[in-house]
Amino acid sequence: MLIHARLIADTHFLGRFETSLLLLHRNAVVPWFIVVPDSVETELLDLPRPVREAVLEESAQVATFVQSYFGSSKVNFAAIGNIVPQLHLHVVGRDPGDNCWPAPIWGNLTEDKQYPASECEAICAALVADYGLQRDAGRV
């Protein structure tokens, strides 16, 4: 599956679920994951029902992970796609007092903090152990 160049530039590749790939946004100010369904469709609601339900279940697992691993009190979920036409879903952990609370993260993050490689590895390992994420060799 090809991933749009903008998504590649902005994220760390973590692995794949049954129907989608999982990416982690490079800006670690907030826990921001991107679920990319393996589909040529560009709109979530255009996916066939079984695929849409599977993708939403995978997204729900990521949301649960964000709350348990990062302790986020709120999870924002969106399928916007105005800049990147490839279907992708944002799962973002939010908390009162975070960098741009209560505004949306898009266009409002004023800080840039990178994940150390060890943290990316720990996040990926937790997703593999607890949520069935499959790793691709050499890509984390």
DSSP string, 44-98: GGGS-HHHHHHHHHHHHHHHHHHHHHH--SEEEEE---SS--S--EEEEEE-TTS
Q: Is the pLDDT of residue 124 over 50?
A: yes
- 24-69 confidence digits (pLDDT tens): 999 999 999 999 999 999 999 999 999 999 999 999 999 999 999 9
The Cα-based distances of 69 to 43, 100, 119, 132 in angstroms read 29, 21, 12, 15
| Domains contained in the chain, CATH given | 5-131 (3.30.428.10)
The residue assigned the tokens 């800006």 is 27
| pLDDT value of residue 51 | 97
pLDDT bucket at 139, cuts 50 / 70 / 90: low
In this structure, what token pair is assigned to residue 46? 């255009």
Q: Is 62 left (phi over 0), alpha (psi -120 to 50) or beta?
A: alpha
Give residue 68's pLDDT: 98
Whether 137 has a pLDDT exceeding 70, the answer reads: no
At 37 the pLDDT is: 97
User: What pLDDT sits at residue 140?
Assistant: 42
CA-CA distance, 100 to 30, in Å (whole number)?
10
The pair of structure tokens assigned to 50 is 């079984």
Kindly tell me if the per-residue pLDDT of 138 is higher than 60. Answer: no
For range 4-33, the mean pLDDT: 97
